[in-house]
Structure 1
């Protein structure tokens, strides 16, 4: 497993690319996503933003570390050519999936008896399982071969989208151009998918 530590300028540039691409994709994909809707719901329910934001951070790190570990593991199972096709097609499928609006069942926040922090931690972790951003983290970790920088980027992207949702709630909920943001995210996934299929991933050892 490559954790992506600094090893010279030539190595550092792809690692920074992994961080910024992961941040951008997840921040955009999270707008209007099920987990962001959950953040709005928890903020309205408890009105205690700090423990909610901290719990979202912990849940995201745990969830995305698990996802990135799977992505890194996948690279050990598939040959470079097979991996290139799997990732390329996966990114294209993600482009279509991200255009489908999410809905939230209020049962996702049913752990209120555990207190604000634990309720948010459990609910957010479970809601993120199998969600767009978790699957994107798997694919990004496999694409960039960088566990640390992908997890750091996807986590930062989640916080960029969800911290304002918790603190400002309804003030921004109805003002976000969700469709436009999702189209931008879908376009990025298409570019990543096509670039991977055309062999751009060879710089990372595919």
Structure 2
């Protein structure tokens, strides 16, 4: 259960102000049809995070526990630093309207999430916890917790979110996980 809760919390916090959340705002404003957008975000996130979770699970079979501990610890510290860097949104990510609302959102979200910090977090969390389904379910729920309000409430909440504070909290959680992992936390999990 820890894998699910940590994955949900970290991704929900890391997603605030992320380029995919900005994409959700733009798609909601452009199409004004929240349910197909939300459905497409869910499908794109499940596909993307399932791939990332599988990669994280596979990595654990390649390296020994001591190496994995160092790789994960350093990865979490890098994620902490990356979380503090504001995302830039590329308008090209939202210019796929020929696919309709669902298709445009699905393709744009999947592509925007490739190489994103939440995808890397999913890889690292799956490698750390060894619970593929709980991590993917948690990171997907975290994405939905951050993006569904963005789609439904749009600009009404965009200006009210203290994104800098939220990013600092997410960065602190990643840093704590990195330090704890480097210090041997999770050794009972095979790390």
Give 1:203 deviation, angstroms: 1.8
What is aligned with 2:145? 160
Does residue 202 (structure 1) correspond to residue 174 (structure 2)? The answer is no
Aligned length: 191
Is 1:76 aligned to 2:61, yes or no? yes
Does 2:93 correspond to 1:113? no
What are the superposed Cα offsets for residues 108-142 of structure 1, whole Å, 9 maximum, x if unpaired?
Answer: 01210010000000000000000010000000000
Counterparts of 1:142 and 1:105, CA distance in 2: 30
TM-score normalised by the chain length of structure 2: 0.99
CA deviation vs aligned residue, 1:82-118 (integer Å, no higher than 9, x gap): 0000000000010000000011111101210010000
Whole-angstrom CA distance in 2 between matches of 1:125 and 1:145: 24
Greater than 2 Å deviation, 4+ residue runs? none
Residue in 1 aligned with 2:172? Answer: 187
Stretches of structure 1 that go unaligned for 5 or more consecutive residues are 1-15
Query: For the aligned residues, what is the CA RMSD?
Result: 0.5
Q: Provide the residue aligned with 1:58 in structure 2.
A: 43
Aligned match of 1:5:
none
Between the aligned partners of 2:73 and 2:186, the Cα distance in structure 1 is 9
Tell me, in whole angstroms, the C-alpha distance in 2 between the residues paired with 1:203 and 1:133. 25
Select which of 1, 13, 25 maps to 1:28.
13
Using the alignment, how far apart are the partners of 1:30 and 1:203 within structure 2? Answer: 30
Per the normalisation by structure 1, the TM-score is: 0.92
1:41 positional shift: 0.4
Deviation at 1:204, TM superposition (A): 1.0
Please state whether the residue corresponding to 2:186 is helix, strand or coil: helix
- Helix, strand or coil for the counterpart of 1:115? helix
